[in-house]
Amino acid sequence: MKITLHVWRQKNATSKGGMETYVVDGVSADMSFLEMLDMLNEQLIAEGKEPIAFDHDCREGICGTCSLMINGVAHGPDSGTTTCQLHMRSFQDGDAIHIEPWRSRAFPVIRDLVVDRSAFDRIIQAGGFISINAGGAQDANNLPIPKPDSDAAMDAAACIGCGACVASCPNGSAMLFVAAKIGHLAHLPQGQPERAMRARNMVAQMDAEGFGACSNHYECEAVCPKEIPVKFIAKMNRDFMKASLCSES
């Protein structure tokens, strides 16, 4: 396949960026999207040009670093898929593809397609943990947990922190990410002692980082590569309201 790419290029965080156009010929339908970008970078290096910077690590849909807006959609056209799992068979010969970094005030561009997502790390540090002694794996197996609760905890824990929810939200909201991290521990007995503190602190840190508010567009759920449902946002709101009332009493 012959593909035309319109890629966002930006030298550094303070430089003005812009779209640049490249043509890549000989793209196999079996290539992943990142392999196609590797092919482009090899072409650029051979031409003595600067390769395109983009984030990647596991390339197995686990780490969440392959954060790209592809034709205006976070992670591309396939649902329940990260960019690294997206294959070129999803495109046609002669297609033009626009590739941009996440667009959010809380995710400033570092270079080209790479953004700073350390805001997510600071939200986790604010409360996405348990500080009690939970013992080893064999001890956890001795704690009876209702099947619906264990299923819900696993669904929330599937979040890989990629930031697609933020990038797709018109308000740049991180509610789905924060709700998944709060909901994961809220459904487990080990997470109960710090449940109220967790909700208050993580929501406060989310606001401090400059993320927008949720306005129920549901774009976050639509692009989430792990298909985490927005019901966790409702559960987080209930936890936050209860925690706020308890702190005031």
- Could you tell me whether strands 18-25 and 73-74 are parallel, antiparallel, or unpaired per DSSP bridges? unpaired
114-115 and 73-74 as β-strands: parallel, antiparallel, unpaired?
A: unpaired
How far apart are the C-alpha atoms of 167 and 83, rounded to whole Å?
Answer: 14
Residue 225, amino acid: P
pLDDT value for 144: 87
d(CA 76, CA 96): 13
Q: Which fold has domain 2-111?
A: Ubiquitin-like (UB roll) (3.10.20)
pTM of the predicted model as reported, rounded to 2 decimal places: 0.93
Spatial strand order of the sheet with 69-70 comes to 18-25, 2-9, 96-100, 69-70, 73-74
Fold (CATH) for 117-248: Fumarate Reductase Iron-sulfur Protein; Chain B, domain 2 (1.10.1060)
Q: What percent of the chain has pLDDT over 70?
A: 99
Residue 56 to residues 109, 117, 175: CA-CA distances in angstroms? 15, 13, 24
Hey, where are the domains in the chain? 2-111, 117-248
Q: How confident is the model over 41-96, as pLDDT tens digits?
A: 999 999 999 999 999 999 999 999 999 999 999 999 999 999 999 999 999 999 99
User: pLDDT (tens digit, 9 = 90+) per residue, 189-234?
Assistant: 999 999 999 999 999 999 999 999 999 999 999 999 999 999 999 9
